[in-house]
Structure 1
Amino acid sequence: MRFLPAITLLLLFISCKKEIKPLTAQQIIDKTIENAGGKKYETATINFTFRDIKYSSKRNKGLFEYSRTYTDSIGEVNDVLNNDEFKRFINAQKIDLPDSTATKYANSVNSVHYFVQLPYGLNDPAVKKELLGEAEIIDKKYYEVKVTFAQDGGGTDHEDEYMYWIAKDNFTVDYFAYKFYTDEGGIRFRKAYNPRMVNGIRFVDYENYKLEPWQSVDLKTVDELFDAEKLELLSKIKTEDISVEILGNN
């Protein structure tokens, strides 16, 4: 009879061990978004400056408006992208643009907001996620999550590929890389630094690296090239003057 408690504990241990399942790519992304701000994104007004241009995004549970404002030789330019269309204003007057030009400007506005507010966009409907495995970068363990895009809703750059290295201990995007095919193409690898929370939403700056040649490089191996110091620092990407207002204090 004295062996019963030990047997019971052993059975409980085996039972608990069986119940522990590896996280899926979707679960990892969900935890990462929650850690960075979660539902606060859904009703947030976010203002920031990037490369001396002022940006603003407004969301209200599915509706969005992204804008940028700057002044050049023709006056004040205000670009506005929302769920329905892209519009350009010069000195407060709406300008008619060819469709190709409007698409180019819209993509530019969307791209800046997308990168600044990562990881929020990783649950967009067109995003396809795949957990490739785990890695270790500078003695820290990471999930490797590959992201591609469906053609329907994935934008003009839907063929681009991304790899995210998400910390296993606290679900932060510390590194990511992407392969793009426009403007002769290339690979970029970004290392996050200067993390900070602004009214409940996480922001980071990046060291931006490139490598040549890139055509035959698998994104999954770019972290190894970074560790081996085989990447070239191209620039530093800084987001400044950030302010966040949450509608309804979600």
Structure 2
Amino acid sequence: MYFFRTHTYTLFLLALLLAFTSCTNNEKPSEAQEIVDAALAAHGTQNLEQGVVTFRLRDRQYRALRDNGAFVYSRTFTDSTGQRVHDVLSNSGFKRTVDDAEVTLPQEEQQAYSESVNAVIYFALLPYFLNDAAVQKEYLGEATVKGEPYHKVKVTFRQEGGGEGFEDEYVYWFHQQRHTMDYLAYNFEENGGGSRFREATNPREIGNIRFQDYNNYKAPNNGKDFPIANYDRVFEAGKLEKVSEVNLEEVKVFGLN
């Protein structure tokens, strides 16, 4: 009798465990995930999975090729001595050529140039990268900016797969009806650290992909006095200083075929 009861109890526990596992595996996506997914669709980012995007930013030419996880990003410009510099960042690493001759760089410089190229492409193609494996999303609630309704989503990164900037923190404002990414804020560590707030401008559709320019703002004391999630309130209060514009010029989209 004891064996029968113990065996029955064990089977009962196993059934509960299986039921719990099934529910966990089929649980509804988080609210933050649903908001990001809607934004990706609204921006047409599925068209970036296989394709090429080119644009100019501050007298430098950029090219981003993506093919289902494989990528080749490049930056081309003329330096102060008149030499043509061509940087290439890919799954295989970083390479620089000057007047078509490959240059050997110290690891520290390779890392710095890699991060520079990657950062420009990252911001230019947002919100495309917000479903990367290392991304962690958290819903922060609703907000109103310039009379429009928004969802706020915080993004951080797992150390594994998060790259050199895994400690970075972002907050995105997604329009509740249009699902567009209209504002973002982020922390940075360079030059003593701080944060910035960006307002999307000049939205346009090219190759079924939504591209945007940005007004770049800073707060007093470089935004160190409040969390970046509060930037919407500081922006509404008119306490931010516009420091630059990020304008993508000559944007073109090509297929891989």
* Structure 2 residue 213 is matched with structure 1 residue 202: no
Say yes or no: does 1:114 pair with 2:122. Answer: yes
Listed one character per residue, the Cα deviations across residues 195-219 of structure 1 (whole Å, up to 9, x for unaligned) are: 0000111100111000122223111
Which stretch of the first structure deviates more once superposed, 232-241 or 212-221?
212-221
Instruction: Give the stretch that moved more between structures: 154-163 or 79-88.
Output: 154-163
| Cα distance between partner residues in 2 of 1:35 and 1:83 | 28
- Candidates 191, 215, 219, aligned match of 1:183: 191
TM normalised by structure 1 equals 0.88
2:149 pairs with 1:161: no
What is the aligned partner in structure 1 of residue 12 from structure 2? none
Q: CA deviation at 1:38?
A: 3.1
Tell me the residue number matched to 1:246.
255
- In 2, the alpha carbon distance for the partners of 1:207 and 1:100 equals 31
TM normalised by structure 2 equals 0.86
Find 2:56's aligned residue among 42, 49, 62.
49
Q: Does 1:220 align with 2:229?
A: yes
2-side partners of 1:246 and 1:28: how far apart? 28
Letter in 1 for 2:67: N
Q: Which residue of 1 aligns with 2:238?
A: 229
CA distance in 1, matches of 2:180, 2:113: 30
CA-based RMSD of the aligned residues comes to 1.4
Distance 1:149 1:22 in 2: 18
Q: List per-residue Cα deviations over 1:128-166 (Å, max 9, x = no partner).
A: 111111101111110000011111222222212110000
Q: Structure 2 residue aligned with 1:59, among 60, 66, 70?
A: 66
Equivalent-residue separation in structure 1 for 2:159 and 2:82 (angstroms)? 36
| Residue type at the aligned position of 1:108 | S
For the pair 1:135 / 2:143, whether they are aligned, the reply is: yes
Q: Number of matched residues?
A: 228
Letter in 2 for 1:226: F
SS at the partner of 1:147? strand
* Counterpart secondary structure, 1:247: coil
Percentage identity across aligned positions? 44
Q: Secondary structure at the match of 1:197?
A: strand
Q: Deviations over 1:82-117 (max 9, x none)?
A: 012000011111111111110000000000000000
One-letter amino acid of the counterpart of residue 140, structure 2: L
Partners of 1:92 and 1:30 in 2: how far apart?
41
Closer, same or farther: CA 126–23 of 1 in aligned 2, 3 Å:
closer
Given candidates 78, 83, 93, the residue that maps to 1:71 is 78
Partner of 1:16: none
1:27 to 34, 37, 62: 34
2:134 is the counterpart of 1:100: no
Distance of 1:182 and 1:149 partners within structure 2: 18
Which runs of no fewer than 5 residues in structure 2 stay unpaired? 1-27
Unpaired runs of 5+ residues, structure 1, are: 1-20
Q: What's the CA shift for 1:39? A: 1.9
What letter matches 1:35 in structure 2?
A
Whether the aligned pair in 2 keeps the contact of 1:159 and 1:180 (CA below 8 Å) is no
- 1:83 and 1:38 map into 2 onto residues whose CA distance is 20
Distance across 1 between alignment mates of 2:114 and 2:126: 18
- Measure how far apart 1:23 and its partner are: 6.2
* Mapped partners of 1:112, 1:38: distance in 2: 17
